[in-house]
Amino acid sequence: MNNMDNNEFDEDVPHMSFFILGARHRYDILNELLKHEKLKPTEIASNLAIPLQNFSRDLNMLYRQWDWLGKDKDENYQLKPWARVMCSVLLPTVNFLAKNTSYFNEHDFGRLPKQFTNSIGVFAKSQHIKSVLRIESKEKSIFRNSNDYVYNILSEAKFSSELMKILEEKLSKGQQVRSIFSENTVLPENDESDDDGKLLNKNGKKIRQYLMKGQVKRKMMDNVNISIVMNESESLVMFPRLGKDTPDVSEGFYSNDKDFHQWCLDYFSYCWDDQSKSFERFEKNEE
Amino acid sequence: MNNMDNNEFDEDVPHMSFFILGARHRYDILNELLKHEKLKPTEIASNLAIPLQNFSRDLNMLYRQWDWLGKDKDENYQLKPWARVMCSVLLPTVNFLAKNTSYFNEHDFGRLPKQFTNSIGVFAKSQHIKSVLRIESKEKSIFRNSNDYVYNILSEAKFSSELMKILEEKLSKGQQVRSIFSENTVLPENDESDDDGKLLNKNGKKIRQYLMKGQVKRKMMDNVNISIVMNESESLVMFPRLGKDTPDVSEGFYSNDKDFHQWCLDYFSYCWDDQSKSFERFEKNEE
């Protein structure tokens, strides 16, 4: 045990847990135990490149001195329940944020309420997508892969004729669509003089029938600065640039991970139930 | 800079953020900056007992080398937005869990879904209450202080005559009450042979009128292992003992903090909307 360990060993000191997690070998051992319910020392060591002597010392410190681990009769080690919860929050949060500092030096979290930044760690399993083209293609595939529903929060209503076609096909199969638009949403122009415009108008009329049936529902929000496109299993999230009040649709985070999906669904529900109002501006035009 | 700093400095290494937070002085500086929007070095230093030379070195490392801080023209330092989100998750989570290890060596989190353990840091501002008597007195005061509503999740329907009296008074002022009981809730016996029993029966009948009006609503859940008693501003949460399937009502966490309240309201809504069913067992008896 070196001097630093000695000086800093005091469970009541708030930085102590960070000190324990702040050494690579200990971090690796805890990370392995987080991924598995329980492991024998040989199983942990075989997954890690740690000199055996250090490994035994670290494992022993975590078990005996710091009391983060439990051990059963068969020499299986496991994280204590509180340590499992703590690591399950800390590790993904750091993995996501510290690994995306260059993104987050140019973007922020909009007006994301605390209950959502608290669970920002669910983004750890997401994929960072760059370029408008890749984002658009991901949006299309989320529409295309949907079986039950498509929910979206948009600052631009850029429903291309291609997206409209997919949407209409899905609607004919009974799917639910819910959209939240920004009050200052840019609507596409239905210019009858070009083919895309004609198709858009034609499909737009069909979609109004689904609106009447309640299969398509729309709401309006004061200001959309985080954009979401999701179906029942996949989701895509786009944050605003620093100081901007609209989502940056040229970059986003995509995943089909369950926890990520739950986060997106919770955020969508929060916006739908609490933050948005009925879609007056458009309903009037449609009558 | 000592050897350890040198060896471990690599932003891409996942334990690096923990290493940065794992030294007392750096932790203290970051904690100060988390509590304020921005601070001048002299303001940070004046709140902390750090030797000046170390302080300047640490602040400079955080700003220049690790890029966790921004600095404006007036020499005010602030956490970068991503670092603020990261610290706002990490510090309270560790503060709550690492400080309550003795409680959590005997208790666990029931079947709390991940979106709720993710925000367990909101408990950092709560007060740990021990003893059945203090818990009961806290429950009574939550009922008494309520102005809009009382929501609760209970494994025992231990509505004492005193609590019933408070409840009835509140109901007469138009307050909303929602209760989720466990399927195997222990109901109090309305023993007409003693005074408490008579009063309980009398009040019970009045409460049925509020049930008919929809002012009192009740639901049933398969198994209640986390108990909540809350009004519109205060909340009390009780977790189960390790290996038990009912909440331990002899200890709990109480707070009137806003984020804590939001957590409790979200958990109550999750149980009310998704996890519980109508209150058949009792409704039948009441007809």
Q: What is the mean pLDDT of residues B210-226?
A: 89
Give me the mean pLDDT over the B114-137 stretch.
93
Spatial separation of the C-alpha atoms in residues A202 and A190, rounded to whole Å: 10
Tell me: do A115 and A242 sit in the same domain. yes
From B235's Cα to the closest Cα of chain A, the distance in A is: 16
- Residue A2 clears pLDDT 50, i.e. is over it: no
pLDDT band at B275, cuts 50/70/90?
A: confident
User: Which residue of A65, A66, A78, A85 to mutate against B (max B Cβ within 10 Å)?
Assistant: A85
Residue where a domain stops, chosen among B32, B67, B92:
B92
B139 & B199 share domain:
yes
Structure confidence by residue, pLDDT tens digits, A123-146: 999 999 999 999 999 999 999 999
| B66 and B181, same domain (yes or no) | no
Residue B202 has pLDDT above 70, yes or no: no
CATH of the domain at A215: 3.30.870.10
Of B97, B113, B121, nearest to A118 by CB-CB distance is: B121
Optimal mutation site among B99, B118, B242, interface A, most CBs of chain A within 10 A: B118
Q: Which residues of A34-44 are buried (b: 16+ CB within 10 A; e: fewer)?
A: beeebbebeeb
At B167-194, the pLDDT tens digits run: 889 999 999 999 998 887 656 555 555 5
B250 touches B244 (CB < 8 A): no
Neighbouring residues of B142: CB distance < 8 A, sequence distance ≥ 6:
B150, B229, B230, B231, B234, B235, B236
b/e string for A271-281 if b means 16 or more Cβ within 10 A? Answer: bbeebbeebee
A209 found inside a domain: yes
Q: Does residue A98 lie within any of the structural domains?
A: no
A-chain CB neighbours of B105 within 8 Å are: 67, 80, 82
| Candidate from B15, B20, B86 with C-beta closest to A97 | B86
Residue B1 has pLDDT above 50, yes or no: no
User: How far from the centroid of its chain's Cα atoms is residue A33's Cα?
Assistant: 24
Q: What is the pLDDT of residue A209?
A: 85
Residues A160, A230 within the same domain: yes
- The pLDDT tens digits of the residues spanning A210-262 come to 888 889 998 988 889 999 999 999 999 999 999 888 999 999 999 999 999 99
Tell me whether residues B97 and A118 touch, CB distance under 8 A. no
Nearest CA in chain B to A265: B115
Q: Do A82 and B89 touch (CB under 8 A)?
A: no
Q: CB within 8 A of A61, min separation 6: which ones?
A: A1, A5, A26
For residue B242, the chain A residue with the least C-alpha distance is: A81
Q: Give chain B's domain count.
A: 2
Contact list, B8 vs chain A (CB under 8 Å): 22-24
Residue B168 lies in domain: 101-286
In angstroms, the CA B110 to CA A46 distance is: 33
pLDDT at A3: 38
Closest CA to A204 of A249, A157, A151: A157
- Nearest-CA residue of chain A relative to B27? A15
Asked if B90's CB is within 8 angstroms of A90's CB, the reply is yes
| Residues B104, A82: C-beta atoms closer than 8 Å | yes
pLDDT at B10: 47
Q: Give per-residue pLDDT as tens, B65-90.
A: 999 999 999 999 999 999 999 999 99
Task: Say if A127 falls within a structural domain.
Answer: yes
B227 and B268: one domain?
Answer: yes
**Whether A63 contacts A93, CB under 8 Å:** no
Q: Please answer whether residues A157 and A187 qualify as being in contact, where contact means their C-beta atoms are separated by less than 8 angstroms.
A: yes
How close does chain A come to B175, measured CA to CA in Å? 22
List CB contacts (< 8 A) between B97 and chain A. Answer: 17, 82-83, 85-86
Collect all residues of chain B within an 8 Å Cβ-Cβ radius of residue A21: 15, 18, 22
DSSP A245: S
pLDDT category at A167 given cuts 50, 70, 90 is confident
The amino acid sitting at A12 is D
Q: Which amino acid is at B63?
A: Y
8 Å CB contact between B149 and B264: no
Residue A97 lies inside a defined structural domain of this protein: no
Of A88, A105, A263, the CB nearest to B80: A105
* B112 shares a domain with B73: no
Q: Are residues A157 and A224 in the same domain?
A: yes
Distance CA A162, CA B160 (A): 64
B173, amino acid identity: K
- Mean pLDDT value across chain B: 86
A58-87 CB burial, b ≥16 within 10 A, e <16: bbebbbeebebbeeeeeeebbbbbbbbbbb
Would you state the pLDDT for residue B287?
A: 40
Whether A240 and A134 share a structural domain: yes
B93 neighbors B58 (Cβ within 8 angstroms):
no
CB contact under 8 A, B98 and A22: no
Question: Considering A46, A65, A92, which residue would you say is the last residue of a domain?
Answer: A92
The strand pair at A69-71 and A251-255 is best described as unpaired
Alpha-carbon distance of A62 to A25, in angstroms, equals 11
The predicted-structure confidence for A54-95, as pLDDT tens digits, reads as follows: 899 999 999 999 999 999 999 999 999 999 999 999 999 999
Q: Which CATH number is A8's domain given?
A: 1.10.10.10
Interface pTM, i.e. ipTM: 0.86
Q: With contact defined as beta carbons under 8 Å apart, do A115 and B119 qualify? A: yes
**Same domain assignment for residues A176 and A214:** yes
CA angle (A224 as vertex; A219, A228 as ends), nearest 5: 80
Last residue of a domain, which of B48, B69, B92? B92
Are both A126 and A206 inside the same structural domain?
yes
Element (H, E) at B44: helix B41-47
Q: For residue range B12-51, what is the model confidence (pLDDT) as tens digits? A: 578 999 999 999 999 999 999 999 999 999 999 988 888 8
Is position A73 within any domain? yes
Q: Which residue in B18, B31, B105 is closest to A21 by CB distance?
A: B18
* Domain match, B21 and B81 both: yes
Q: How far is A283 from chain B (nearest CA, A)?
A: 30
pLDDT band at residue B4, thresholds of 50, 70 and 90? very low
Examine the domain organization and report whether B8 and B121 are in the same domain.
no
Q: In whole angstroms, give the CA distance from residue B43 to residue B32.
A: 9
pLDDT (0 to 100) of residue A193: 59
Task: Choose from B2, B3, B15, B50 for mutation: most chain A CBs within 10 A.
Answer: B15
